[in-house]
Structure 1
Amino acid sequence: MLLLIPGPVQTRPETRAALAQDIAPWDNDFRPTYASIRDRVRAIAGGQEGVHATLPLQGCGHFIMEAAIRTFIPAGGKLLIPQNGAYADRAVRLATECGRQVVALPGPDTRPVTGEEIDAALAADPAITHVAVVHHETGSGMVNDPEVIGPVVRARGRRLILDSVSAFGALPVDLSAHPEIDVVLFTSGKCLEGLPGIGFAVARIDSVTAAAGNAGSWSFDLLDVYEHAVRAGWGSFRFTPPVQALAAFGVALDLYAAEGGQPARLARYRENARILYDGVRGLGLTPYLEPRHQGPVIVTVHQPADPRFALQPFVDALKARGVLISNFYNTKVPTFRIGCVGAITPEQMRGAVAAIGGALDDLGVSRREAA
């Protein structure tokens, strides 16, 4: 089965094999593996030793996002969230339920937020201390570029939380060039092609240590994660981790480096996305985004106007042909989304395009323009 979702992604056999062991996470033989993972992740983020620290947390991307909001923004504090996609909507809810004041900056989910829009919102409200941005919107496939947003936030003297959950490892991030970024967030089961179960924050140490008393939660306090590492060592996890997933993640990082790191991973994903985008257009389907706004992680496609199309039967027909995609959508109009990430080659993506065409034929879908 070819798994074409934006996470958990298809993984290499070597990565999955690393799960098949029993490990004590506190054992001295495992500590160097975990400490090395923290160092390697910081390097991928462009972080600097002594300036940035890797602070993992058990769980999914929503968990690490909530931890960042709680840690860096005090209760009652105010943050700006460009609301141009489903995961930005979720960030608004997370922040609101954490007791933070949200200033939403509404926008369509078909284009990135602009620097001018961010600048105007910050100028209008000096009480905003942070901007929280979703780097890659997993519902639509659109990218909010920190190279555009970061300089504006820095010039206004504010701070940036970068939710790069579905982009990190493919889209570049260089923390050393962005002192305005308090933290970049991601998870193990996306573009680094590990197994799910671990959220990562690569954070400025000075911002973390200034956050005492903010979190209002022991479990979701990144300062406590940092203090535990300082006290117990960087090979020590604060609470019981998904240790087999950590071991597999170490293997995934080995494979990432062997492939050529971020530039090579991005190049492969971009080629996958190009083949898919051009392929669905060739089948008469309508991509959700214009080519200039299309990112490399997923391609979202309008559902066809043909009344014989329905999402779940299409997913089932595609699965019967060996390709599994998501059976839901996160856009304001009916779509389906296909992941371009994971241990997938361009040749496999060409096969997926053929399978999409075959599944539509199986359903008798001839009117393929947008509904």
Structure 2
Amino acid sequence: MTMFDASLLLDPPAWPAAGYAGLADRIGRLLGTRGDVIFVQAEAVVALEAVASSLAAPSLKVLNIVTSPYGGLFGGWLRRGGAQVTDLVAEPARPVTVEAVKAALDAGGRVDAIALVHAESASGILNPLEGIAALAKARGSLLVVDAVASVGGHPLDVDALGIDIAVIGPQKALAGPAGVSAVSVSAKAWALIDRPGAPVDSVLSLLDQKRGWLDTGRGALPGTPPALEFHALDAALARIEQEGLENVLHRHAAAAAEARAGLAALGLEPFETGERASNLVTAVALPDAVDLGRLTALDIAVKAELTAGVGPGAERLVRINHTGRRADPAIVRATLAALAQALHRVGR
């Protein structure tokens, strides 16, 4: 194993103040939006909490779709800010259906905002974003999407779908850094965020980002931006631009197809398939006789990035990671071979 020389990361040059706007514009093109794109100088879960904290108000009524622990967290952050939240909880570890969302909207009266996760790496499922977006548009509801896992792995056209807030992190399909994230914000969303009594002077305040960066001409970011993270973000975006977004999307779809075909060859069934399955992760339910903890602790499983599912309903799942640079058929085949060997070692 080759050891990485971490000293090469020390003393990086500062990212130029005039360069942040260019990065934001490149992310906007990636997302298909002409709306504002702002940076949160932290991992994407902080950006998600910032969105919830910035939107939440006692007058806000939200339909919060829960298909993993992350949706539950988002609803809790909204409630903390006083919002009136109705959780639509899908079958554990499974995607929600458009019919269930429509029924919840029809039963709930006024709904100011709908929030959901697009693709769930926790269990390898994909929520029906297009259908939910159509429902939100028809009712005039704000649409908030956690696209941290899906950006680069699934088509995501923010303006065409009418997404008002999209949160992304570069560390998944874009194969970039985890320490900086981005949020696209529509004019409709800003109208709810920029209000008297909104959170300010906080890392969880999107309004601070608007007033301290957008409204001042998009020069230097407030605070002390992490130079290393922005250089890495620039490199990740450049790599995506060079490959071409359509090619990146195709690569992830091909890797997912390879994973599901390989599981069939092993006599195993993917947890989800077709339009309900994510291109980022393929999950498989293990037979009851297999000790999940023992399997995932094997060196061969660790090296191949075979990991346990996360959250209710995912307790017996093993996830095959084909995200980012791992979205490669050769890597998928090697991972499947590792899964077969690991299963053999635990007596399967």
Shift of 1:37: 1.1
User: Structure 1 residues 237, 281: CA separation in 2 closer, same or farther (over 3 Å shift)?
Assistant: same
- TM-score, structure 2 as length reference: 0.89
What corresponds to 2:12 in structure 1?
22
Shift of 1:60: 2.2
User: Structure 1 residues 135, 41: CA separation in 2 closer, same or farther (over 3 Å shift)?
Assistant: same
Name which structure has the greater RCO, CA cutoff 8 Å, separation 6+.
Answer: 1
Asked whether 1:31 is paired with 2:28, we answer no
What corresponds to 1:183 in structure 2?
165
What corresponds to 2:345 in structure 1?
362
Shift of 1:168: 1.2
Structural mapping, 1:343-362, within 5 Å: 343-344=325-326, 345-362=328-345
Alignment partner of 2:174 out of 176, 192, 203: 192
Shift of 1:268: 0.8
What corresponds to 2:317 in structure 1?
335
Shift of 1:227: 1.4
Q: In 1, distance between residues paired with 2:341 and 2:215? A: 58
Alignment partner of 1:221 out of 201, 205, 209: 205
Query: Helix, strand or coil: the match of 2:256?
Result: helix
Q: In 2, distance between residues paired with 1:295 and 1:314? A: 23
User: Equivalent pairs: percent with the same residue?
Assistant: 26
Shift of 1:327: 4.7
What corresponds to 1:7 in structure 2?
none
Letter aligned with residue 240 of structure 1: T
Question: What is the Cα-based RMSD across aligned positions, in Å?
Answer: 2.5
- Checking the alignment, whether the CA contact within 8 Å between 1:139 and 1:331 is kept in structure 2 is no
Q: In 2, distance between residues paired with 1:168 and 1:145? A: 15
Q: In 2, distance between residues paired with 1:191 and 1:214? A: 37
Q: In 1, distance between residues paired with 2:113 and 2:302? A: 46
Query: Helix, strand or coil: the match of 2:109?
Result: coil
Shift of 1:193: 1.1
Asked whether 1:241 is paired with 2:225, we answer yes
- Checking the alignment, whether the CA contact within 8 Å between 2:174 and 2:237 is kept in structure 1 is yes
Asked whether 1:153 is paired with 2:136, we answer yes
Q: In 1, distance between residues paired with 2:207 and 2:154? A: 27
Alignment partner of 2:292 out of 311, 318, 327: 311
More deviation, 112-121/198-207: 112-121
What corresponds to 1:257 in structure 2?
241
Q: In 2, distance between residues paired with 1:193 and 1:213? A: 39
Query: Helix, strand or coil: the match of 2:54?
Result: helix
Q: In 2, distance between residues paired with 1:342 and 1:318? A: 22
Instruction: Count residues with an aligned counterpart.
Output: 341
Asked whether 1:140 is paired with 2:130, we answer no
- Checking the alignment, whether the CA contact within 8 Å between 1:321 and 1:359 is kept in structure 2 is no
Letter aligned with residue 169 of structure 2: T
Asked whether 1:79 is paired with 2:62, we answer yes
Query: Helix, strand or coil: the match of 1:343?
Result: helix
Unaligned runs of 5+ residues in structure 2 are: none
